[in-house]
């Protein structure tokens, strides 16, 4: 696992388009947020503001939805079939999957913020259920395009079946 610090350059994201990517890997999940020239408020919201997160499935695609502070919800489609070797462990009550959140300025690839969180048990169990169910389906980018053509981010938020919240971290 690669250790990064604020200001490091992640070369593969230089010149990337804005957006969000959710991936599950060997050491947990990662939410990569790609913003062009993120503002001080966006950096603050992501690094230590309130986080709301939700999950739903439409068109056989898992959508994770995140809201940082006063920002709007962000939608992230996920397809286990792009990394089928990943197996999510069963969880005991009171435990949740981990997620590293990283904010990268896609103009220059600089890491502007990161944060490590744990999802709630209920949300994590729903994520595992959806991943296991999706594994049995043939999900492609066409499914993702179909979902985006029918549902707005606000629609996906309303359709969510599990949610969680993390309140502001005061490190001052």
83 has a pLDDT exceeding 90? no
**pLDDT-derived band at 69, boundaries 50, 70, 90:** very high
Assess whether pLDDT exceeds 90 at residue 14: yes
* Mean pLDDT, the chain, whole residue set: 93
130, 55 Cβ separation under 8 angstroms: yes
DSSP, residue by residue, 42-87: HHHHHHHS-EEEEEEEETTEEEEEEEETTSPPEEEEE-GGGSTT--
- Edge-to-edge strands, sheet with 61-68: 74-78, 61-68, 51-58, 162-166
Query: Is residue 172 pLDDT above 60, yes or no?
Result: no
> Taking Cα atoms as reference points, which of 156, 158, 162 lies closest to residue 77?
156
Q: Which of 2-6, 26-30, 123-127, 142-146 has the lowest mean pLDDT?
A: 2-6
Q: How far is residue 147's CA from residue 92's CA, in Å, rounded to a whole number?
A: 32
Residue 169 confidence (pLDDT) above 70: no
Give residue 80's pLDDT band: very low, low, confident or very high (50, 70, 90).
very high
Asked whether residue 1 carries a pLDDT value surpassing 60, the answer given is no
Residue with structure tokens 């939410």? 31
H or E element at residue 141: helix 141-150
The mean pLDDT of 31-47, rounded to a whole number, is 97
């Amino acid at each position: 696992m690669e250790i990064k610090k604020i200001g490091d350059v992640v070369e593969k994201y230089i010149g990337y388009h804005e957006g969000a990517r959710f991936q599950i890997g060997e050491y947990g999940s990662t939410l990569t947020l790609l913003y062009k020239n993120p503002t001080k408020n966006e950096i603050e919201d992501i690094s230590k503001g309130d986080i709301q997160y939700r999950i739903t499935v439409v068109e056989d695609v898992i959508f994770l939805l995140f809201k940082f502070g006063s920002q709007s919800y962000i939608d992230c489609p996920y397809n286990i079939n792009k990394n089928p070797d990943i197996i999510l462990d069963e969880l005991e009550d009171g435990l949740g999957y981990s997620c590293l959140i990283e904010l990268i300025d896609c103009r220059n690839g600089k890491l502007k913020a990161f944060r490590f969180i744990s999802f709630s048990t209920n949300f994590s169990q729903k994520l595992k259920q959806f991943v296991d169910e999706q594994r049995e389906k043939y999900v492609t980018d066409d499914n993702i395009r179909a979902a985006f053509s029918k549902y707005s981010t606000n629609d996906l938020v309303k359709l969510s079946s599990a949610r969680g919240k993390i309140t502001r971290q005061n490190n001052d």
